[in-house]
């Protein structure tokens, strides 16, 4: 389990968590956008720095885009696709999650 569903408001603060990948813990986050939960590794497509400007703050002021606090790169919340800035077409890496019974869970990859 990552968090309770109620912790994620549409376009609001995200929840940070870690994922074990290739034998080490990697930072990640989950957000809600247009009613759906989405999770990504917390790593800018430009250079591997974390996106949030304060813990859990991933959206820009308009609440329409995810933004890298370091470079200003913009990403589509629903897909992680690079929309502009220094990400040069390199999007965020998605992490499969599911929402059920009032909680958000990491979905095992096949």
- From first to last of its 110 residues, the chain has per-residue pLDDT tens of 999 999 999 999 999 999 998 899 999 999 999 999 999 999 999 888 999 989 999 999 999 999 999 989 999 999 999 999 988 889 999 999 999 999 999 998 75
Instruction: Name all domains of the chain by residue range, CATH numbers in brackets.
Output: 3-106 (2.102.10.10)
* Exposure letters 19-42 (e unless 16+ CB within 10 A, then b): eeeeeeebebbbbbbeeebbbbbb
Predicted confidence at residue 91, as pLDDT, reads 96
Predicted confidence at residue 110, as pLDDT, reads 56
Rounded to two decimals, what is the model's pTM? 0.95
What is the DSSP code string of 52-87? Answer: -SSTT--B-TTSSSEE-TTT--EE-TTT--EEESTT
Predicted confidence at residue 48, as pLDDT, reads 85
Residue 51 DSSP label: -
d(CA 45, CA 83): 11
């Amino acid at each position: 389990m990552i968090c309770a569903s109620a912790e994620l408001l549409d376009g609001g603060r995200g929840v940070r968590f870690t994922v074990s990948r290739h034998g080490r813990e990697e930072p990640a986050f989950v957000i809600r956008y247009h009613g759906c939960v989405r999770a990504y590794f917390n790593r800018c497509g430009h250079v591997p720095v974390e996106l949030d400007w304060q813990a859990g703050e991933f959206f820009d002021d308009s609440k329409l885009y995810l933004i890298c606090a370091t470079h200003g790169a913009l990403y589509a919340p629903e897909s992680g696709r690079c929309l502009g800035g220094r990400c040069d077409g390199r999007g965020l890496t998605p992490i499969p999650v599911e929402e059920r019974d009032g909680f958000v869970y990491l979905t095992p990859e096949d």
